[in-house]
Structure 1
Amino acid sequence: MILAIDGLLAGAAHVLTGPDHLVGVAPLAVEEAVDATRPGEVRRIRPWLVGASWGVGHGVGVAILGVLGQTLLSATQVDVASGWSERLVGVLLVGLGLHAIRRGRGLVIHEHQHIHDESRHVHLHVHEHGHKGAKHGRGEQHRHAALGIGLVHGLAGAGHFWAVLPSLAMGRTEAATYISAYIVASIVLMTAFGAVLGRITRSLGTTWMPRFFQSVGAVTVAIGLWWLATTFS
């Protein structure tokens, strides 16, 4: 029980104290909310699934590192593997941020008002310069991308300090309990983060939604560049 609580606390601390984690999800969650307003889209808005996918990928990465640390790799080798994964995280964040900035600049959002039962409803419809028609299946693309980015995050950085290294001093049963609780915490928190970010995005009007999308992208690029600078220093 104590190990499970420790794992939950460590997982929560790791996710919430890592700006690279939050920006690894933010552009994809915002894009999911934006794309669901496109004409022709009939799917439900599910930014929370983007966060959940990142959490699952992150958990799998941590679990892989933990298993390798328990079986094949020494603590030093775990540290080397995490270091190279950290550099890849920086590259992915820069690319993800640039993509968000490019798409945000091309968005044109129209506001339509409808009267129904004496109540006025406002609907937003997204169009995109230089884009012909809606790309169906974007929701799956967002989730797959989040899963992959989360996997790399799980193999990188502080994850091996918070989860993998403590588990190396435990027996296999205790290590499994600790890492499982760690993974659950990361999934729950990132699911909530994706849901909140999607709700914020949908609440923005025609002027602020593209600007918010671009701002999220700019922050992601900045953190990605900072991450690269620190990992290569």
Structure 2
Amino acid sequence: METSVPLLFAAMVGFTHAFEADHLLAVSSMVTRRNSIKSSLKDGIYWGLGHSSTILAIGLLMIVAKVAIAEATFGYFEATVGLMLILLGTHRIWKTWKHEQHHHKAHQEEAPHHHRLAYGVGLVHGLAGSGTLVLLVMTELKSSLQGIVYLLIFGLGSIAGMLLASGVFSLPFSQKFTNARQIRGALTLASSLFCIVLGCKVMWENLRGL
């Protein structure tokens, strides 16, 4: 019973984890490229898969292979996430300035390779907080198998959470809700600027003490 309780909460913790500020700003930056909720939902799924892949990989290294990762390394991981947020926001502003999202070809984003960005962002995002999560699992669960199962369930929860978040955040950018270029552009600029600001904050907090 003692080991089953953490497993029961794994999905819920993963679900709420998807709604952290840096995750939401990253997904908001990505869904501004979309003109349909369906495409945005796919971005959410791919983000969750990438996020879960990284956490599972680090979990396998630390729990199964018993690889010790220095605490400072996770600080660099967090800083990498900050850099990614800055790049996402900057790139989105540049694309908005070029008005590429208003051309016909820019709306044809259903091809699978366009979701690689979401998967890649998820991979990098999985670095943030992965060490703390895995160490917590190692402390609470004595069995390596239970630890890996926890991380898998956590991953499923985060996929579900980001699926919901991407759907909600895509609404203001959907053509059904926002046909005015000025409004769409203003929303895109706002989300991109917030992304850059948070990225700078994350980098500063994690690099100043290293």
- Counterparts of 2:113 and 2:168 in 1: how far apart (Å)? 20
Q: In 2, distance between residues paired with 1:224 and 1:9?
A: 26
Q: Which structure 1 residue ranges, 5 or more long, are not aligned? A: 37-43, 110-125, 128-132
Per-residue deviation at 1:78?
5.5
Deviations 1:170-217 (A, max 9, x none): 211211221111101110010111111222211123121111111111
Q: Deviations 1:18-53 (Å, cap 9, x if unpaired)?
A: 2111112111112122xx6xxxxxxx8410111111
Identity of aligned residues (%): 21
Higher helix share: 2
Match of 1:6 in 2: 9
* 1:220 matches 2:195: yes
Query: How many equivalent residue pairs?
Result: 198
The structure with the largest strand share of the pair is 1
Map residues 107-126 of structure 1 onto 2, 5 A cutoff: 107=99, 126=102
CA–CA distance in structure 1, aligned partners of residues 27 and 172 of structure 2? 14
With structure 2 as the length reference, what TM-score do the two structures score? 0.84
Structure 1 pair 88–147 and aligned structure 2 pair: CA distance change class (3 A): same
Matches within 5 A, 1:23-172: 23-33=25-35, 45-70=38-63, 71-74=65-68, 77=69, 79-107=71-99, 126-127=102-103, 134-135=105-106, 138-139=109-110, 140-156=112-128, 158-161=129-132, 163-169=133-139, 170=141, 171-172=143-144
1:182 matched to 2:146? The reply is no
Indicate how the Cα distance of structure 1 residues 167 and 78 shifts in structure 2: closer, same or farther if over 3 A, else same.
farther
Could you list the runs of 5+ residues in structure 2 that have no partner in the other structure?
none
Partner of residue 40, structure 1: none
> Distance in 2 between the 1:63 and 1:88 partners?
18
Could you tell me the TM-score, scaled by structure 1's length? 0.77
Deviation at residue 226 of structure 1 after TM alignment: 0.9
Q: Secondary structure at the match of 2:33?
A: helix
* Residue equivalent to 1:118: none
